[in-house]
Amino acid sequence: MTFEITKLDYEGRGIAYQNGKVCFIKHALPQEVVNGALLKEAKKYAIYEAKEIIKPSSIRTESFCPFATKCGGCVFSHVSYENSLKLKQEMLKSLFQKELSYEKEIPIIPANKSLGYRNKINVKVRKGKLGYYKEESHDFIPIRTCFIASPVIQNLLKDFSLFSFQDGELIIRINTNEEILLDIITKEPVKIAQALTANHKIAGISINHKCVYGTPFFYMNINHTLYKVHEESFFQTNFFIAQKILTDVLSFFEPNDIVYDFYCGVGFFSLPLAKKVARVLGIEENPKAILDATYNASLNQITNASFHVGKVENIIDKISITGNKVLVDPPREGLHKNVCQLLNAQKFDQIIYISCNPKTLVRDYKKLAENYEIISLKAYDMFPFTKHIECVALLNKRKNVIKEE
C-alpha cells in the first residue's frame, strides 16, 4: 500500500491516512511517498513498515548502521544528527501542544557526540552470536557491533570469542575512567579467559549477579562528585548530557531549600544538591542503590543528605522532616498515581520533574495541573538517533493554592 507521509508521531513513525484510518509507518520521513507492508491492524489504526521509498525526503541519508531497521533502536539513523534534533523538537512540540496546549518553544540541548555515547548496553546472546531483540518482540537480530555504544564497549564486543557461553545476556557498563563492569546472565557454566582481563580494563565480572572477578561495583566522577555504582544500580547512560541536566537542575534551588529526591538512585542529583541546599532526603526502592547512595554521601563528606529505601508513597509519611521542593526522576512508566496524589496533597513550592518519557510526563502533569503550572521546559538529547528524549520541567505551585493540613 502506498502512503504520503505528513509528519511523525512521538514514536518517530510516519503518519498517513487511509480510508479515514490513521496509519503509522516505521522508517518513513515527512513528505515522503512510500510503499508499506502491514504489521498490525486495529479498529482505529494500523501499523506498517516502509518497504520501498518511492519519493524520498530531502533530508534522507544512508543509514550509518546496517542493523538499524531490523533492531529498531536508532529510528533516525537515516538522517543527519542536526536533522534528527529538528525532528525530535517537532515531535515534542506536537505532543505538548496537542495534549497540554503548551505553546512555548521547547529548546533541545544537543549531545557532544552523536555516536559512541552510551556507557551501558544489554546484549542478547543466542547460539554464540551477539544481538538485540527486534522492537516490541523477542525476535533475535544478530549484530556485529553497536555504533551508539562507547568505543570501549565496541572494542570489548570484538573479543566476544573470549567468552565461553552460547546463550544468555551480556550487560556491559563503563565509568568515567573507562573501566568495565560485566554481568553475564546464563544457565551455562562460564569460564573467564585470561586474555579478557589482560586486554581490557575490567573492574569486575559477575555471573548471574554474583561477582567472580574484581568487584561488583566501580566509581564514577561527575562534576567533582564521586559515586560508587553497583552493577545492578541505575546510572545516567550519557555522561555529557547527564552533566548538562545536573547543572540546569541545580540552578532551580536555593540555600534554604529542603528537598525530597524521589527515585534518587545512587544519589546522582542528591549529593550535588546537598552541597547547595540545607537538606536532601532521597527515596529509592532499590536497596543496593540506597546502600551506594549512603556510602557516596560519606565518601564525599556530605552530612546533610539522608537516604530511605522503599516506595515513595509508602514511606514518605515516616520521614519526620518536611521538604519545600521535590525532585522526581521516575522510570519510563512515570509517577505512580499515589505519588501524584501525594504531590497534590502536599502542594510543594516547586516540583522539578526529570523525564525520560515525555508521554508519561504529559500524563502525570494532567494530574498535577490544578495545583502546579509549567514554568520552564527543556529537552536534552540523551539518546542521539533514537526516538527517546529527556526533558526537565520546572513546576511551580499555583498562586492562591493553600496546602492542606
**Which residues are catalytically annotated?**
356, 390
Distances (CA, A) of 139 to 61, 136, 153, 293, 394: 27, 9, 23, 37, 40
The owner of cell 497534590 is 344
H helices present in 265-375, as ranges: 270-274, 287-299, 312-315, 337-346, 358-368
**Rounded to an integer, what distance in angstroms lies between the CA atom of residue 385 and that of residue 363?**
25
Q: Which three cell numbers stand for residue 116?
A: 559512541
Q: Which three cell numbers stand for residue 296?
A: 557516596
**Rounded to an integer, what distance in angstroms lies between the CA atom of residue 19 and that of residue 1?**
12
**Rounded to an integer, what distance in angstroms lies between the CA atom of residue 217 and that of residue 212?**
12
Q: How many residues does the chain have?
A: 405
H helices present in 251-330, as ranges: 270-274, 287-299, 312-315
**Rounded to an integer, what distance in angstroms lies between the CA atom of residue 98 and that of residue 102?**
8
Distances (CA, A) of 18 to 4, 15, 48, 224: 10, 10, 12, 55
Provide the 10 A C-beta neighbour count for residue 219: 16
Phi, psi (rounded to 5 degrees) for 258: -115, 120
End-to-end CA distance of the chain: 61
**Rounded to an integer, what distance in angstroms lies between the CA atom of residue 22 and that of residue 30?**
15
Using DSSP's 3-state secondary structure scheme, residue 85 falls into helix
Angle (CA) 297 301 306, round 5°: 35
Task: Report which of 398, 395, 397, 393 is spatially closest to residue 107, judged by C-alpha positions.
Answer: 393
Residues 6+ apart with CB under 8 A from 1: 18, 35, 36, 38, 48
Instruction: Yes or no: say if 124 and 132 are a contact pair by the CB < 8 Å rule.
Output: yes
**Rounded to an integer, what distance in angstroms lies between the CA atom of residue 357 and that of residue 379?**
11
